[in-house]
């Protein structure tokens, strides 16, 4: 499962205390499921959620587990479950590469604090990081801005994209879209994230999966352009009146690989 995490486009959160939803989530078409022991679970339900997640994993279910962050009363017990099943974990409030390395498991750091954004390069370069995700809602709360304000969070998003690339990671996963009233807001969020260089998105409802998958897929026009660029075959050529050199050729090849 670890190698597949680098290729994910859609990742679906499921509350850890709702085991009746685990199977439905696994069959939803999402690239991966995150069983959430953190924000989606009230304190009174933490133990129940942990037991449900352990049962699902013991029965052969596959998932990423979002554990509670270090320093909370539930961290050690959450981590024990993840280690027992050798499953990837999502670490919330990710800031310290030493804390990430100490997990001893494949990790998706959820970067959602100002300190995490400032130290994004070090976070991305921790040896067991397989992909980075953006926690837009928590960061916006810390900054005192709206979590759906793309301008206010543009720097943070771009910072994660650059840090991921510098560390040789796949493009990061964008944060959730909380608007479930239709598809317009989600489509706009996906378009914005893709333009900034993100490679996928965290989802909070199964109905978001197809929209996100389509939004991050190369368009027919992009694939047509890529085929013509690759077909030019020269290290330096012209396509549609634009110079094509090796970096442009490489982008075309990557688009075709995703298509």
Strands 242-244 and 237-239: antiparallel
Residue with tokens 């809602």: 137
SS3 6: coil
Cα–Cα dist 6/124, whole Å: 13
Residue numbers of the chain with a pLDDT score lower than 70: 1-2, 233-236
User: CATH number of the domain at 2-217, please?
Assistant: 3.20.20.60
Residues near 36 by beta carbon (within 8 Å), at least 6 away in sequence: 13, 14, 15, 16, 66
Residue with tokens 């608007």: 179
Residues near 179 by beta carbon (within 8 Å), at least 6 away in sequence: 148, 185, 186
Question: Is 126 within 8 Å of 109 (Cβ atoms)?
Answer: yes
Q: Which residues are annotated as a binding site?
A: 66, 112, 138
The confidence score (pLDDT) of residue 2 equals: 65
Cα–Cα dist 119/128, whole Å: 16
Q: Which residues are annotated as a binding site for substrate?
A: 66, 112
The confidence score (pLDDT) of residue 252 equals: 81
Q: What angle do CA 59, 61, 62 make, to 5 degrees?
A: 145
Q: Locate the domains of the chain by residue range.
A: 2-217, 218-259
Task: Read off the DSSP letter of residue 254.
Answer: H
CA nearest neighbour of 70 among 29, 18, 113: 113
What tokens appear for 118 in the block? Answer: 């400032």
The confidence score (pLDDT) of residue 80 equals: 97
Question: Is 64 within 8 Å of 108 (Cβ atoms)?
Answer: yes
The beta-carbon contacts of 230-235 under 8 Å, at least 24 apart in sequence, are: 230/256
Cα–Cα dist 18/14, whole Å: 7
Q: Which residues are annotated as a binding site for Mg(2+)?
A: 112, 138
């Amino acid at each position: 499962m670890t190698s597949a995490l680098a290729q994910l486009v859609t990742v679906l959160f499921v509350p850890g205390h709702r085991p009746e939803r685990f199977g439905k989530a696994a069959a939803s078409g999402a690239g991966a499921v995150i069983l959430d022991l953190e924000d989606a679970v009230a304190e009174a339900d933490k133990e129940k959620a942990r037991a449900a997640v352990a049962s699902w994993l013991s029965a052969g279910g596959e998932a990423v587990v979002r554990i509670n962050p270090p320093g909370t009363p539930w961290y050690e017990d959450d981590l024990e479950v993840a280690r027992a099943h050798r499953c990837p974990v999502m670490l919330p409030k990710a800031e310290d590469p030493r804390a990430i390395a100490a997990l001893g498991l494949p990790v998706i750091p959820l970067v959602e604090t100002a300190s995490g954004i400032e130290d994004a390069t070090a976070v991305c370069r921790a040896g067991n990081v397989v992909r980075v995700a953006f926690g837009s809602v928590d960061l916006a709360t810390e900054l005192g801005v709206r979590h759906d304000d793309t301008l206010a969070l543009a720097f943070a998003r771009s910072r994660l994209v650059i840090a991921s690339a510098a560390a040789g990671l796949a493009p990061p996963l964008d944060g959730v879209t909380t608007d479930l009233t239709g598809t317009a807001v989600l489509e706009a969020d996906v378009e914005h994230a893709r333009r900034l260089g993100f490679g996928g998105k965290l989802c909070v409802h199964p109905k978001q999966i197809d929209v996100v998958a389509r939004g991050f897929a190369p368009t027919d026009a992009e694939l047509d352009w890529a085929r013509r660029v690759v077909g030019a075959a020269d290290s330096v050529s012209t396509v549609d009146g634009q110079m094509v050199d090796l970096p442009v050729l490489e982008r075309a090849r990557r688009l075709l690989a995703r298509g």
